Amino acid sequence: MKTKLFILVCICAVMTVSCTSTVQTQKQNKIAQAIKKEGDVFQVQGNHTAALNKLLEAEKMAPDDPYIQNSLGLAYMGKERDDMAIQAFNKALALKPDYTEALNNLGAAYLRDEKWDIAIKTFNKVLEDITYPTPHYPLANIGWAQLAQNNYPAAQKYFLKAVREVPGFIPAIHGLAQLYIRTGQADRAIAYLNKNIRKSPGTVIFHADLAQAYEACGRIPKAIKAWQMVTQLASENSNLYHEAEQRLFELQ
């Protein structure tokens, strides 16, 4: 009788410890998610250092959370540490293999790291998920990877697919404009860009593309005017603004 009572007491003790552990884990995960949200806000604001600090704090509390790993990857990309971003996205996918958003982000990190073929392969895996809500992103990104390798017909194919998915999609329009400029079709680029600028006059990258197209065909006064528009629209601390300032200095 004493033996049975002892076993019963032991079982109850184990159950109590288990329940306490579960409650503590749930509490930690809840705190980790709150910290992650703070990190995500900093990321959206462009404060990548603050975002990274918050997300690393969240990771300590929930190291096996795929969503924290995905956010960490984005923060590493913001800090231009694509190697560490790739590791974080791969960990997110190891924890959640059907996490297509992380897969697309992994492709973007490979693209930034100039690993063109791996990026294309990764984006094609994203496109295999027919429920993925934004296929225009991997389509345009494949276009950029093909353009980087001078595979112009393939690049055009994917940029056009992206624009068909979402008319007015800026990265794909920008990609097509660059393709036309690089293949000696400056007049085609000018006509295409002017059409899109009429629809979206405040899109600064279109004006920068237009300036490059005018330069390519020797229409310098129009190029100057387009670069001046870039300086009016772009943030003064952006790379595009500094490029426009440099081109204006050289052309005037």
Domain of residue 110: give its range. 23-130
pLDDT of 7 strictly over 50: no
Whole-number average pLDDT of the chain? 92
Mean pLDDT of 141-155: 98
For the segment 76-133, what is each residue's pLDDT rounded down to a tens digit? 999 999 999 999 999 999 999 999 999 999 999 999 999 999 999 999 999 999 999 9
pLDDT of 246 strictly over 70: yes
Instruction: Examine residue 159 and state whether it is found in any structural domain, yes or no.
Output: no
Q: What is the pLDDT of residue 27?
A: 83
Instruction: Examine residue 219 and state whether it is found in any structural domain, yes or no.
Output: no
CB within 8 Å of 12: residues ≥ 6 apart: none
pLDDT of 184 strictly over 90: yes
Q: What is the pLDDT of residue 115?
A: 97
Instruction: Examine residue 84 and state whether it is found in any structural domain, yes or no.
Output: yes
Q: What is the pLDDT of residue 12?
A: 43
pLDDT of 185 strictly over 90: yes
The rounded distance, in Å, linking the Cα atoms of 53 and 67 is 16
More confident residue, 228 or 19: 228
Of 134, 215, 136, nearest in space to 169 by CA: 136
Based on DSSP, count helices (H) and strands (E) in the chain, helices before strands. Answer: 13, 0
Percent of the chain clearing pLDDT 90 (strictly above)? 88
- Got the DSSP string for 49-110? HHHHHHHHHHHHH-TT-HHHHHHHHHHHHHTT-HHHHHHHHHHHHHH-TT-HHHHHHHHHHH
Instruction: Examine residue 102 and state whether it is found in any structural domain, yes or no.
Output: yes
Instruction: Examine residue 67 and state whether it is found in any structural domain, yes or no.
Output: yes
The rounded distance, in Å, linking the Cα atoms of 114 and 237 is 25
Confidence class of residue 22 from pLDDT cuts 50, 70 and 90?
Answer: low
pLDDT of 71 strictly over 60: yes
Confidence class of residue 24 from pLDDT cuts 50, 70 and 90?
Answer: low
CATH of the domain at 36: 1.25.40.10
The rounded distance, in Å, linking the Cα atoms of 158 and 39 is 33
pLDDT of 39 strictly over 70: yes
Instruction: Examine residue 143 and state whether it is found in any structural domain, yes or no.
Output: no
Instruction: Examine residue 177 and state whether it is found in any structural domain, yes or no.
Output: no
Residue environment code for 1-15, b if the CB has 16+ CB neighbours within 10 A, otherwise e: eeeeeeeeeeeeeee
Domains in the chain, number: 1
Distances (CA, A) of 243 to 78, 182, 202: 21, 18, 18
Percent of the chain clearing pLDDT 70 (strictly above)? 90
With a threshold of 0.95, does the pTM exceed it? no
Confidence class of residue 28 from pLDDT cuts 50, 70 and 90?
Answer: confident
The rounded distance, in Å, linking the Cα atoms of 56 and 71 is 10
pLDDT of 74 strictly over 80: yes
Mean pLDDT of 147-169: 98
The two structure tokens encoding residue 169: 């999609």
Q: What is the pLDDT of residue 5?
A: 43
For the segment 188-224, what is each residue's pLDDT rounded down to a tens digit? 999 999 999 999 999 999 999 999 999 999 999 999 9
Confidence class of residue 2 from pLDDT cuts 50, 70 and 90?
Answer: very low
Instruction: Examine residue 103 and state whether it is found in any structural domain, yes or no.
Output: yes
